[in-house]
Structure 1
Amino acid sequence: MTATVHRAADAAPLAEGKDLPPSLHFIGGAFVDTAAERFTEVIDPSSEDVIARVPEGNREDVDRAVAAAVGAKEEWARLVPKERSEVLHAIADRLAEHTDVLVRLEAANTGKPLSVARDDVDGTIDTFRFIAGALRATTSMAAGDYVEDHLSVILREPLGVVGLVTPWNYPLMMAAWKIAPTLGAGNTLVIKPSEQTPLTTLKFAELVADLLPPGVVNVVTGDGPVVGARLAEHPDIAMIALTGSVGSGRAVARTAAESLKRVHLELGGKAPVVIFEDADLEAAAVALRTAGYWNSGQECGAACRVLVHASVADRFTEELVREVGKLIVGDPRAGEHVDIGPLVSKAHFDRVRGYLGRARSQGVRAAIGGSSLDGPGYFVAPTVLVDVPEGAEIAREEVFGPVVTVETFTDENEAIRRANDVPFGLSASVWTENARRSHAVAARLDAGTVWVNSHLVLANEVPWGGFKGSGYGRDLSLYALDDYSRTKHVMHHHGR
């Protein structure tokens, strides 16, 4: 079966005119003129058309933005939790009022199907609502006398100014995952969105400008080696938080080490899906149709690496290929029925095709898909790869495309060893009807999130983050508020 790209008869842009934000930096509560000599073209990956041109920021732009954030930090930090909570609720309300334009803008900039873009916007809104409530209910160690005649009080304080670097796969939602707890904890911020997908972050700034004191939120567009590096090294930034590639994480951590600023990294993944012989194979295949191919597989928690017991491998593969064959590839303008859009850029498209080509040359076989699709646009067919040997590149490195590999194992210890035998440790799943086995295996998997009989199910109430090469720090939940604040112990001598 060969996938085809569904396209709209009417190729009108999803977002244009007043839908688009100003193509400028947002500093001190306003969009500001830039002296930038270079601009980045923002491309619609479904059509390869240019949507906008945004400035490539420089060190001076970052310094202006940091100065604005420094100027605003004391006033924002002094607000009591109720006041900050009300602002975050107002932000959520404002975003909800503009859901339609945000969905269309995100779909245009990333190629996401409308359903995926809508889920991102809904998740963004819920992130602000959750943090708005959570920041009013933070808990800490009880005040008390832990030394005779000395009262200990534990305080949670803002860090100051936080630098944020966000990725291209979830531009708006990943921004929310970082902006909401940063603001909730009482910090101000400068955010650098991906140079490929800056539009919804700039639109966010435009929509909420009147809800925040000037300087609390600042946006500087540009490249990582310039804007991101300056954020990581800036002496007035207390913390740098990045979601991105392992290479970007290493670069940020190295630079931040010079000033000993706090670092929060959410990096790549290569999630193992361990399917035992007693698993519900049909349910697993149905779940992986979403969990392996959501957002065209451009998802760090994607169910991309199946390890299935040899005795049921053929049956499971048949089920998975059947489910993947139902996926509809297309331009988001084609309608709500589209499941999978293009990859985000020509460079990433070529990268994924390179992985597929090398896998073929190593004897790996595509049970379905395995190639790119006719343009315009950067489309790759939903792919299931079989006959994958242990240690193959395609099964160890993060492809970040609509590609799922299937390997086999014969016993539990082998499955766990191979599941853990990658540099990443973000997420994993276990499929079995044996409750004792599910607990035991989940405990031995080296991943920050382990699902049992499901995959890629997230909630704002629970933490998200990884081990090993997947980074450190936690997004979502109360743990995020902890990450973006600091603990102070104040001890009072009250002896008489």
Structure 2
Amino acid sequence: MLTSDTLTAARDRIKTMRVTHFIDGAFVESESGCDTTDIVNPADESVLATAPRGGREEVGRAVDAARRARRRWAKTTPGERAAVLLHIADVIDANVELLAAVESLNVGKPLAAVMEEIPVASDCLRFMAGAVRTAQAPATAEYVSGHLSTIRREPVGVVGAVVPWNYPLMMAAWKIAPILAAGNTLVLKPSELTPLSMVLLAELVSDVLPEGVLNVVLGPGRVVGDALGRHPGIDMIALTGSTRAGQEVAAGASGTVKRLHLELGGKAPVVVFDDADLEAAVEAVVAAGFVNAGQECGAATRVLVHRDVHDELVERLSRAAAALIMGDPADGSSIELGPMVSGAQRARVAAMVERAIVAGAVAVAGGAVPECRGFFYPATVLTGIEAGSEMAREEVFGPVVTVETFETESEAIAKANDVVYGLAGSVWTRDHGRALRVVDQLDFGSVWTNAHLIFSSEMPWVGFSQSGYGRDNSTYALDDYTRTKHITMSMGMPADQAR
């Protein structure tokens, strides 16, 4: 259990950490100049550490190290790579409270939430360690008479990965595990806002991984991410971030025709029919809509509810949202809603809410920036949202849940699909036939019935449309980070046939 004492110890540990790039098995300083970024605790706006702003020079050094290491790492057996991943997982589990405390301080996450999150990272590593040892391919056979065909599964090469600020360690693990398991080497860029847990992990596993297999370059996405996308020594880019970031990375990568793995934004509909268990639906929306201060691409952010139960759902939802305890995670385990990651992100969300209210929306809970230190924004519920409006269609990425109504099944489906995103959604009904019909027509990569935001390492997390493509988790992720080579061997002509 994390406590305020654990957070104090984590603050002290951060002060002793070397917060800089990790390249070729060692922590190194920047060559790009003396520009730095203050790493801020969003709950009290204090500076936790200072990090260098890397650039093309650091990316170049990291890519060179990864390319030197790639053939040696690719030639290891699946069992050998699995052993390394399991060792990293053991390190995470042995340091779960420290990693969780650092993440809580850097991102502003409530203690209970972050203690659930860090073990997901080690579970992903353990899953990929097993999955890579059971990789499958089509059967070796004579698909053309006299010629034996077989499939060789190979690593792509050097992968550049860009991970976001909302789940710094977990999203890093979702990239590290399949990329390394498949035999690739990696240059990873954490968010410039939240690099601390990844830097700490690099320190903890520095003696576990061979030099150059995992490299970490700090700095802003528009510089480091762009350099990764354009570098000819990077064979593939994997990014979790906004749709805009995905578009920019894809444009940069087009010059060298890199493979892309993009997990982008979302605008998840929660379709609640009139026969749904409203208590369970509201409980799920509160948990999945305000988790991580709503900074979650699959958040239950847009409730579409049948008109007959609208008033009851809104009353229950607004009461539950208002009851959430907001505050600094350092205040204890009772805190349920922490701050947003930065002042800029809060300002963006607040402006979006204000525009919706001007357009006619009603804030039945929250809706205003509190007067306190830290980047806090209350759990907000908006009703009266017009279909097709900015608030109905654009990603908020904050603790804001909107409520719209529908009358028919077809209208619910049409409204749910009326977004450019295709990441996640959920359907709430006791009618299993209806659930199957609606799920079949929703254009989202993950759809739950009578649940929301349920994950497992065994199942893929994937988006459609402008939510990107490429699978995190599951054996499908291993497919994404490998290439297949078809080898055909002539069996020759038997001597008796040659005559």
TM-score range, shorter-chain basis? over 0.9
TM-score, with length taken from structure 1: 0.97
Of 29, 32, 49, the match for 2:28: 32
- In the TM superposition, what are the counterparts of 1:51-62 in structure 2 within 5 Å? 51-62=48-59
Give structure 1 stretches of 5+ with no counterpart.
1-6
Q: What is the CA distance between 1:13 and its match in structure 2?
A: 7.5
SS at match of 2:489: strand
Contact 2:14–2:48 (8 Å) recurs in 1? no
Of 324, 327, 330, the match for 2:327: 330
Counterpart of 1:105 in structure 2 is: 102
Write the distance in 1 (CA, Å) between the matches of 2:485 and 2:296. Answer: 37
Write the distance in 2 (CA, Å) between the matches of 1:261 and 1:17. Answer: 39
Counterpart of 2:472 in structure 1 is: 475
- In the TM superposition, what are the counterparts of 1:320-359 in structure 2 within 5 Å? 320-359=317-356
Q: What is the CA distance between 1:317 and its match in structure 2?
A: 1.2
Counterpart of 1:312 in structure 2 is: 309
Taking only the aligned residue pairs, the percentage that are identical comes to: 52
Write the distance in 1 (CA, Å) between the matches of 2:377 and 2:148. Answer: 63
- In the TM superposition, what are the counterparts of 1:45-444 in structure 2 within 5 Å? 45-444=42-441
Give structure 2 stretches of 5+ with no counterpart.
494-499
Contact 1:369–1:383 (8 Å) recurs in 2? yes
Contact 1:15–1:101 (8 Å) recurs in 2? no
Write the distance in 2 (CA, Å) between the matches of 1:165 and 1:287. Answer: 30
Counterpart of 2:497 in structure 1 is: none
Counterpart of 1:4 in structure 2 is: none
Contact 2:91–2:205 (8 Å) recurs in 1? yes
SS at match of 1:377: coil
CA-atom RMSD in angstroms: 1.5
SS at match of 2:149: strand
SS at match of 1:126: helix
Change over 3 Å in CA distance of 1:427–1:10 after alignment to 2: closer
Write the distance in 1 (CA, Å) between the matches of 2:286 and 2:266. Answer: 18
Deviations 1:426-463 (A, max 9, x none): 00001111111111100100100000000001111000
Q: What is the CA distance between 1:368 and its match in structure 2?
A: 1.0
Residue 12 of structure 2 is aligned to residue 21 of structure 1? no
Write the distance in 2 (CA, Å) between the matches of 1:47 and 1:250. Answer: 34
SS at match of 2:159: strand
The code of the aligned residue for 1:274 comes to: V
SS at match of 1:307: strand
Q: What is the CA distance between 1:24 and its match in structure 2?
A: 1.4
Contact 1:20–1:199 (8 Å) recurs in 2? no
The code of the aligned residue for 1:207 comes to: L
Change over 3 Å in CA distance of 1:20–1:441 after alignment to 2: farther
Change over 3 Å in CA distance of 1:8–1:325 after alignment to 2: farther
Contact 1:73–1:161 (8 Å) recurs in 2? yes
SS at match of 1:263: strand
Deviations 1:388-429 (A, max 9, x none): 111221121111111000000011111111111111000000
Write the distance in 2 (CA, Å) between the matches of 1:8 and 1:156. Answer: 48
Write the distance in 1 (CA, Å) between the matches of 2:30 and 2:457. Answer: 37
Contact 2:149–2:486 (8 Å) recurs in 1? yes
Moved >6 Å (runs of 4+):
7-11
Q: What is the CA distance between 1:89 and its match in structure 2?
A: 0.3
The code of the aligned residue for 1:403 comes to: V
Write the distance in 1 (CA, Å) between the matches of 2:253 and 2:479. Answer: 20
Deviations 1:204-260 (A, max 9, x none): 111111001100000000011111111001111110000001111000001111101
Contact 1:270–1:305 (8 Å) recurs in 2? yes
SS at match of 2:323: coil
The code of the aligned residue for 1:30 comes to: A
Write the distance in 2 (CA, Å) between the matches of 1:192 and 1:411. Answer: 46
Q: What is the CA distance between 1:130 and its match in structure 2?
A: 0.7
Write the distance in 2 (CA, Å) between the matches of 1:291 and 1:373. Answer: 22
SS at match of 2:447: strand
Contact 2:7–2:101 (8 Å) recurs in 1? no
The code of the aligned residue for 1:22 comes to: R
Q: What is the CA distance between 1:11 and its match in structure 2?
A: 9.5
Write the distance in 1 (CA, Å) between the matches of 2:378 and 2:36. Answer: 32
Q: What is the CA distance between 1:320 and its match in structure 2?
A: 1.4
The code of the aligned residue for 2:220 comes to: D
Write the distance in 1 (CA, Å) between the matches of 2:7 and 2:80. Answer: 45
Counterpart of 1:3 in structure 2 is: none
Contact 1:20–1:105 (8 Å) recurs in 2? no
Of 445, 448, 453, the match for 1:448: 445
Contact 1:20–1:203 (8 Å) recurs in 2? no
